Structures are given as structure tokens and as C-alpha cells.
Amino acid sequence: MVFLSFSLDIHTLEMVFTVHAHVSWLAERGKMSLGKRGRAEPSGAPPMELRYFPLLAKGLGPALVLEHSGLPWRGNRDLPFSISSHWAALKPLTPFGQLPLLSVPSVGLEIAQTTAILNYVGRKACTEGATDKAFAINQMLIAEAEDLYGAMNKFLPTVYKRLSTAEVITSKGTREDYDSFWATLLPAKLEKLERLWAGPAGEILFPPSLALKAAGAHPGFMTGELYLWSMLFQLTLVDKEACWPSEPVGDMGMSQFKYESLFSWYAVIEARKCTQDVIEGRSSMGELRQYYQHADSGGVCSEGDERGRWGRDLQAGCRLDLACFIFQSFVLRCTKSYKAKARRLDCKLH
Ligand SMILES: N[C@@H](CCC(=O)N[C@@H](CS)C(=O)NCC(=O)O)C(=O)O
């Protein structure tokens, strides 16, 4: 609420700030004229390709970073890539047998590991932080987003896996662990981010003027910001109130978000068209479905109950794998017996 009312005053304030302030802020932040000034491929080079399961999980961050980069890219929808038709054949060709995978056909590069993908695109698009300070903060945010993901993976159920119970042990914690994630672990992390936003990160993440910030004059976002945002967005989908609690201010019955700076930043990124296109399924990546679920939601295990493995679509992929394996074994046996026969014949002839 505070954020919204604040943005109304902005146009008056905006006049006060000089072009110089804006330009130096752009320089600090990492520039979003991107490909043009960055390390982009020559025009006409084939676009980068991002493949992932049709889920938010670790697909949202790279898709956001690509969409915000302004560089040409193609994702699941336009490649096309689907689990049932392509994953089984692709898996053994990927560096670590996992997705996401970013292919750069112009240089014959296959990049696995989300953080490597983010850093590669950041370097290409000059969104990895232009100064040493911005670069360091960007890396901190990437690492913190990874830590958050690790915690989500441990404590939140998904469309494929439920929490552990007395009867069923999964790789997830129990309901008690789930509750303490929201009550203790996450707030501790959000408080630290809020502190960071008010300090050194804030200097870089926000323009020198509040006016520019609230007027939506952000030219773009660093990769670490977008990756961190992708985790906060997924947490917000699971439990918005727990992520963004309000607290009373003054005696007038007013309230504001507890993590005010963090939330303002979150809301600015959310409002961006590039962001909306990705989360609404309009980007080249197509639809990315919610992966992490509220413990009480009907979405838990709605895609399959693999208790440690991936679900429905992948099972189809695995069945395909098995069929290929049986077929290959058969061919191998035929080849072996043919070779043996040929050897015997060979011996007879000599
Ligand atoms: N550390 C890797 C983890 C990648 C990962 O766990 N990928 C999962 C989906 S999120 C996967 O490919 N699972 C399917 C499989 O292992 O066959 C990263 O950040 O990219």
C-alpha cells in the first residue's frame, strides 16, 4: 500500500533529477542496451536455446534472464521441446543428464547448471554487474537464490512429491519442518535481504533517485536480481501472506509491508512486461507450471507421486528409455551372434 501511494507523488519529484544522475546510475547498474554494447553474437547468428521441463522451478530464472536480456532466444514452445517427445533422447547428450540446458548453436556450446546459464547470459547481455561492486552483489544474489531453492526443495511439497509422514518417508521434511520454514527460516532470510536492500545492494539495485525508481525508470535488472525474484515469486505463489506480511505503522491504523524495500523492488520487477510475458506463458518458453505447493493444496502430487523421481511425463520418457535399451540389447546380441558365426565361418575357410 505504501508503495502504491508513494508512486503517485513521483512525477513531481522526477523533474528534479538530472540526466547525469540517471546516466551514472545506468553505468553502475550494468546497462541494458545489452546486446548492442555487450558481447552479443553478430546479427544473423542462430538464437540461444533454453530447454527445461514445463515447470517454474529452475526454468523461471533462466527464462526471465533471457527475456529481459533483449538477446534473441528460443525456448520450449518455439524449439519445440517437450518431455514426452525429446527428453529421453536429449538426457544422455547433456553435460550432467539434467535440465535446464542452454544451447548456443553459434559456438556449439551446451551449458548445464542454472548458475552457469545465468552467468553466461549475464556476460553476453552485460547484466552481470558493470562495476566490481555490482558484480559482487550480483553473484551474492545468485548464490542466495540457490540457497533459497535448496530450502524450498527440502521443505516444500511439489506436484510430484509429498512431505514425509510417519507412514511415508520422502526426501522432504515433515509438516512440522514445513511450518517452521515459513515461521522461522524464510523470515530470517527475508529480514537479511531487506537489510541488504537498505544498504550496499540498495545503492546499486535502486537508482540514485527514488523518483526514477518509482517512475519505473529501471532500465533493466541484473541476472542475480531476476534469479532471486524467480524464487520469491514461487514462494509468493505458495503462501503470499507468509512471504509478505504487513505490520502496523503509527497510531492511525495504517500498515505497511514488513520487508518494504524488498517488496517495492519485487513489485517493480513483477510489473515489467518481460516478466509478465514469462509468468503468463507468452514468452518463447511457453507455459511454466507451478512446481512448489502449499502443504494443504490439492496440487501436491497432482502430476504424479514419484517419491524421489520425476512424474508422469518422465515416466513416459523412462519407458521409452527402457524400450530403447531392450531394442539395443537385442541388436547387440544379433550382432554378436552374427560376428561369432562369421568368425566360425572364417576359421573354416582358412
Ligand atoms: N544444479 C542443477 C540442478 C539441475 C536439476 O536438478 N535438474 C532437474 C530438474 S530441476 C532434472 O533435470 N531432473 C531430471 C533428471 O535428473 O533426470 C542446476 O541448478 O541446474
Q: pLDDT for 292-326, tens place per residue?
A: 999 999 999 999 987 644 434 444 444 444 454 45
pLDDT digits (tens, 9 = 90+) for 231-244: 999 999 999 999 99
Q: Are residues 74 and 185 in the same domain?
A: yes
Report CA(242)–ligand 1 centroid distance (Å).
Answer: 27
Q: Are residues 186 and 267 in the same domain?
A: yes
The mean of the pLDDT values for the chain is 81
Q: Are residues 193 and 319 in the same domain?
A: no
Query: Which residues partner with 292 through β-bridges?
Result: 158
Q: Whose CA is nearest to atom 13 of ligand 1?
A: 98
**Measuring CA to CA, which residue among 117, 69, 115, 119 is closest to residue 219?**
69
Query: Which residues partner with 109 through β-bridges?
Result: 104
CATH number assigned to the domain comprising residue 224: 1.20.1050.130
Does a structural domain hold residue 285? Answer: no
Res 346 pLDDT > 70: no
Report CA(115)–ligand 1 centroid distance (Å).
Answer: 12
Report CA(296)–ligand 1 centroid distance (Å).
Answer: 26
Count of residues making up the chain: 350
Does a structural domain hold residue 334? Answer: yes
What pLDDT does 232 receive?
A: 98
Range of the structural domain that residue 43 is part of? 2-279
What pLDDT does 40 receive?
A: 55
pLDDT digits (tens, 9 = 90+) for 154-190: 999 999 999 999 988 999 999 999 999 999 999 999 9
Looking at ligand 1, which atom is closest to the CA of residue 53? 9
Does a structural domain hold residue 302? Answer: no
Among 9-23, 78-92, 127-141, 162-176, the least confident range: 9-23
Report CA(53)–ligand 1 centroid distance (Å).
Answer: 10
Which of 279, 300, 327 is the last residue in one of the domains? 279
Q: Whose CA is nearest to atom 1 of ligand 1?
A: 113
Looking at ligand 1, which atom is closest to the CA of residue 57? 10
Res 259 pLDDT > 60: yes
Burial class (CB in 10 A: 0-12, 13-18, 19+), 64: buried
Mean pLDDT, rounded, for 73-85: 97
Ligand 1 pocket, 114 CB below 6 A?
yes
Report CA(147)–ligand 1 centroid distance (Å).
Answer: 15
Report CA(59)–ligand 1 centroid distance (Å).
Answer: 10
In this prediction, residue 105 has a pLDDT band, given cuts at 50, 70 and 90, of: very high
Res 36 pLDDT > 80: no
Q: Are residues 241 and 139 in the same domain?
A: yes
Burial class (CB in 10 A: 0-12, 13-18, 19+), 277: middle
Res 152 pLDDT > 80: yes
Q: Which residues, including other chains, have CB under 8 Å from residue 185's CB and lie 6 or more apart?
A: 151, 155
Say if CB 88 and CB 82 are below 8 A apart: no
Q: Are residues 50 and 196 in the same domain?
A: yes
Does a structural domain hold residue 293? Answer: no
Res 61 pLDDT > 70: yes
Q: Are residues 345 and 239 in the same domain?
A: no
Q: Which residues, including other chains, have CB under 8 Å from residue 167's CB and lie 6 or more apart?
A: none
Which of 279, 304, 337 is the last residue in one of the domains? 279
Ligand 1 pocket, 328 CB below 6 A?
no
Res 83 pLDDT > 50: yes
Looking at ligand 1, which atom is closest to the CA of residue 91? 17
In this prediction the pTM is 0.78
In this prediction, residue 23 has a pLDDT band, given cuts at 50, 70 and 90, of: very low
Looking at ligand 1, which atom is closest to the CA of residue 117? 20
Query: Which residues partner with 111 through β-bridges?
Result: 102
What pLDDT does 252 receive?
A: 83
Q: Are residues 102 and 237 in the same domain?
A: yes
Res 204 pLDDT > 50: yes
